[in-house]
C-alpha cells in the first residue's frame, strides 16, 4: 500500500470505555468492513472493555472514472470494485477511511455530519487518511468538496447501525495459544531426564471472524507448547505426525546442539513417530519450528514455539508470566476476505504477507485471549518471532520494560528501562515490568502499520488508577 499513513488520526481519539476489534482489509490498500462492537461512549475497545485505537474499522476508496462519472471506487474486502460503495459500520466503532487518488485530479472526502475530512490529494496515487468515531446512528453522505465533483458523481453513504456488530460465525477451531498457558518456573533442582510428547496436527482454524485457514501446528495451537527445562537436563522428545495429516513434518529446536537441531532425526510422514534426545547445554530462550521443506511454508502456517532453558537456580521470581509469539501469514486472498484462505507461495518467497499475527490469528490477544494482571504485580513476557521473515519491534503501549533479556540471553545482565525491543525471526526475548497503575495496555509491533494487518494484543490490568502516575487534565497543585 503506497504511502498510506494509516494510523495517524486514530491516535488522537479520546480514550474512554467502548468496544471494537476485528478488521477486514483489502488487497492493495487495507480495507475493513467487519468489526465487532457494541455501542459505546467515546472510543473503541474489545469485548472485555479494553480501549484501543488500534482496532479501527477501515475502508479504502480510490478516485476514478466509471460510467462516465467521477466516482469513488472501493478497494478490497466486500467493497472491492464497487462504485461509491455504502460503508456499513456500527455505533461506537472507530472508523478509518483511506483515500487514494486514482487518476490525478484534485479530490478529498468530507463527512460534514461528523466534521471529519481527508486532506486534498492532487497527484496520482497521492493518499490521505482520517478517522472519526461513529457515535451517531443513521445514514450520512460522504462526498468530494472540490467544486462540481459531488454533482459529477462523487458521493456515497456511510450507514451507522445501532448496537453491536455480530461476529461472523465459522466452524473452524480456536487455534490460539492462551498466553497464560505455559509451564511454571523450574527454580532449584538438579538436572534430570525430561520427556516431552508432541504431535503435529493439521486443522482448519479460525483466522478471523468468518475467515479460516488450514493451520499446521504443534499440539493443535499456535504457537506450539512452551517447553521448559533447566540447563543440564536431558530432553527426550517424542514427536508424532497425526495420521490424518497430508504433509511430512519435523522439529528443529534452536536449544539443541546436533544435526538440524533434531530435524535430521524427526522427518516423519503422517502416522509416524520419532524420538530424539538432546542435552540442554546452554541456558536461554530459544525458538523451535518445523524444518520440513518448504520450511518457510511450514513456519508461516503455524509451526513454531519457544523452549526455555532456565539457568541453574532459575530466573528471578515474578507474579505473572505470559507466552506470546509473532508470525506472518501469506494468503492468496487479501487481508479480511471471508471464507477459507489458501497459501500463496509467490507472496511467501517474495515476503509480502497479508497478515501479521500474535498467537496465530486476528484478535488472538484482544477478543479471544487477552492478558490479565493486577496493579502492583510484576509481569514477565516470553516473546518470540516465528516469522518466517519479519523482525518485530516489540512494545507495550503505556509501559516501560524494567528488564530485557536481549536476544533471549538469560545469563547476560538484562538491559533496564527499555521502551521497544527488536526480535528477529527465529529469535526471542524476555521482558519484565512492574505494573504501577490499573488500566488497559496494548501489545504491538512498533512497525505500526502491521496493527492494521491483525497485530495487536491487550494487557488488562485491574486495580487503582494511580493519579500520581497519570491522570486526565492539568497537574494537581
Could you tell me if residue 32 is inside a domain? yes
Task: Output the CA–CA distances (angstroms, integers) from residue 134 to 15, 19, 204, 336, in the order listed.
Answer: 14, 12, 34, 21
Cell of 12: 488522537
Could you tell me if residue 108 is inside a domain? yes
- Pair (149, 223) in one structural domain: no
Q: pTM (2 decimals)?
A: 0.78
Q: Measured between alpha carbons, how far is 187 from 190 in angstroms, rounded to an integer? A: 10
Last residue of a domain, one of 114, 141, 161: 161
- Pair (114, 21) in one structural domain: yes
Residue numbers of the domain that contains 389: 170-477
User: What angle is formed at CA 275 by the lines to CA 213 and CA 228, rounded to 5 degrees?
Assistant: 70
- Pair (342, 471) in one structural domain: yes
- Pair (89, 67) in one structural domain: yes
Could you tell me if residue 373 is inside a domain? yes
- Pair (310, 224) in one structural domain: yes
Region of 273 please: left (phi>0), alpha (psi -120 to 50) or beta.
beta
pLDDT by residue for the chain (477 residues), tens digit each?
A: 333 333 333 333 333 222 233 333 333 333 333 333 322 333 444 444 444 555 678 899 999 999 899 999 999 877 889 999 999 988 888 899 999 999 999 999 999 888 899 999 999 999 999 999 888 888 899 999 999 999 999 999 999 988 766 555 568 999 999 999 999 999 899 999 999 999 999 999 999 988 999 999 999 999 999 999 999 999 999 999 999 999 999 999 999 999 999 999 999 999 999 999 999 999 999 999 999 999 999 999 999 999 999 999 999 999 999 999 999 999 999 988 889 999 999 999 999 999 999 999 999 999 889 999 999 999 999 999 999 999 999 999 999 999 999 999 999 999 999 999 999 999 999 999 999 999 999 999 999 999 989 999 999 999 988 888 888 899 987
Q: Measured between alpha carbons, how far is 78 from 56 in angstroms, rounded to an integer? A: 16
* Beta-bridge partners for 374: 462
The total number of structural domains that make up the chain = 2
Could you tell me if residue 4 is inside a domain? no
- Pair (174, 241) in one structural domain: yes
Task: Output the CA–CA distances (angstroms, integers) from residue 367 to 241, 351, 358, in the order listed.
Answer: 31, 28, 12
CATH classification at residue 23 = 2.60.40.420
Could you tell me if residue 3 is inside a domain? no
Contact (Cβ atoms closer than 8 angstroms) between residue 32 and residue 20: no
Burial of 100 (0-12, 13-18, 19+ CB in 10 A): buried
Sequence-distant (6+) residues with CB within 8 A of 23 are: 30, 32, 34, 35, 55, 56, 57, 58, 208, 335, 336, 362, 452, 453, 454
- Pair (203, 115) in one structural domain: no
Q: Measured between alpha carbons, how far is 23 from 25 in angstroms, rounded to an integer? A: 6
- Pair (116, 238) in one structural domain: no
| Average pLDDT score, the chain | 87
- Pair (251, 345) in one structural domain: yes
Q: Phi and psi of 113, rounded to 5°? A: -70, -20
Amino acid at each position: 500500500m503506497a504511502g498510506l499513513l494509516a494510523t495517524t488520526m486514530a491516535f488522537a481519539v479520546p480514550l474512554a470505555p467502548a468496544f471494537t476489534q476485528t478488521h477486514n482489509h483489502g488487497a492493495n490498500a487495507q480495507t475493513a468492513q467487519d468489526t465487532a462492537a457494541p455501542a459505546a461512549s467515546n472510543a473503541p475497545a474489545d469485548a472485555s472493555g479494553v480501549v484501543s485505537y488500534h482496532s479501527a474499522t477501515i475502508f479504502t476508496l480510490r478516485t476514478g472514472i466509471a460510467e462516465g462519472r467521477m466516482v469513488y471506487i472501493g478497494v478490497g474486502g466486500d467493497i472491492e470494485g464497487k462504485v461509491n460503495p455504502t460503508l456499513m459500520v456500527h455505533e461506537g466503532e472507530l472508523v478509518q477511511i483511506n483515500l487514494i487518488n486514482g487518476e490525478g485530479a484534485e479530490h478529498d472526502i468530507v463527512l460534514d455530519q461528523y466534521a471529519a475530512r481527508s486532506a486534498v490529494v492532487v497527484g496520482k496515487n497521492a493518499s490521505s487518511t482520517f478517522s472519526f468515531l461513529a457515535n451517531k446512528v443513521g445514514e450520512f453522505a460522504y462526498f468530494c468538496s472540490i467544486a462540481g465533483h459531488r454533482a459529477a458523481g462523487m458521493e456515497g453513504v456511510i450507514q451507522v447501525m445501532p448496537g453491536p456488530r455480530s461476529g461472523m460465525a465459522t466452524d473452524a477451531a480456536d487455534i490460539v495459544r492462551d498466553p497464560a498457558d505455559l509451564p511454571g518456573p523450574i527454580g532449584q533442582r538438579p538436572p534430570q531426564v525430561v520427556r516431552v510428547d508432541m504431535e503435529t496436527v493439521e486443522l482448519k482454524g479460525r483466522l478471523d471472524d468468518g475467515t479460516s485457514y488450514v493451520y499446521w501446528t504443534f499440539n493443535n495451537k499456535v504457537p506450539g507448547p512452551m517447553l521448559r527445562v533447566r540447563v543440564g537436563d536431558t530432553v527426550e522428545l517424542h514427536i508424532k505426525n497425526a495420521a490424518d495429516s497430508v504433509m511430512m513434518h519435523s522439529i528443529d529446536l534452536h536449544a539443541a546442539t546436533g544435526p538440524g537441531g533434531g530435524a535430521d532425526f524427526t522427518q516423519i510422514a503422517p502416522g509416524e513417530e520419532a524420538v530424539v534426545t538432546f542435552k540442554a547445554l546452554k541456558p536461554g530462550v530459544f525458538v523451535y519450528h518445523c524444518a520440513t521443506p518448504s520450511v518457510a511454508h511450514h513456519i508461516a502456517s503455524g509451526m513454531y514455539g519457544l523452549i526455555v532453558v532456565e539457568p541453574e537456580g532459575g530466573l528471578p521470581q515474578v507474579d505473572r508470566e505470559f507466552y506470546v509469539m509473532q508470525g506472518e501469514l501469506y494468503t492468496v486472498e487479501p487481508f479480511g476476505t471471508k471464507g477459507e484462505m489458501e497459501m500463496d507461495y509467490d507472496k511467501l518467497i517474495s515476503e509480502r504477507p497479508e497478515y501479521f499475527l500474535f498467537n496465530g490469528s486476528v484478535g488472538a490477544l484482544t477478543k479471544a485471549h487477552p492478558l490479565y494482571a493486577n496493579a502492583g504485580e510484576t509481569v514477565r513476557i516470553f516473546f518470540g518471532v516465528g516469522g518466517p521473515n519479519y523482525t518485530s519491534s516489540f512494545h507495550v503501549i503505556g509501559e516501560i520494560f524494567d528488564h530485557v533479556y536481549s536476544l533471549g540471553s538469560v545469563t547476560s545482565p538484562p538491559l533496564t528501562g527499555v521502551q521497544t525491543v527488536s526480535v528477529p525471526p527465529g529469535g526471542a526475548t524476555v521482558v519484565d515490568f512492574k505494573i504501577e497503575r490499573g488500566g488497559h495496555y496494548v501489545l504491538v509491533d512498533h512497525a505500526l502499520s502491521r496493527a492494521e494487518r491483525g497485530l495487536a494484543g491487550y494487557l488488562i490490568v485491574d486495580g487503582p488508577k494511580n493519579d500520581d502516575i497519570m491522570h486526565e487534565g492539568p497537574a494537581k497543585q
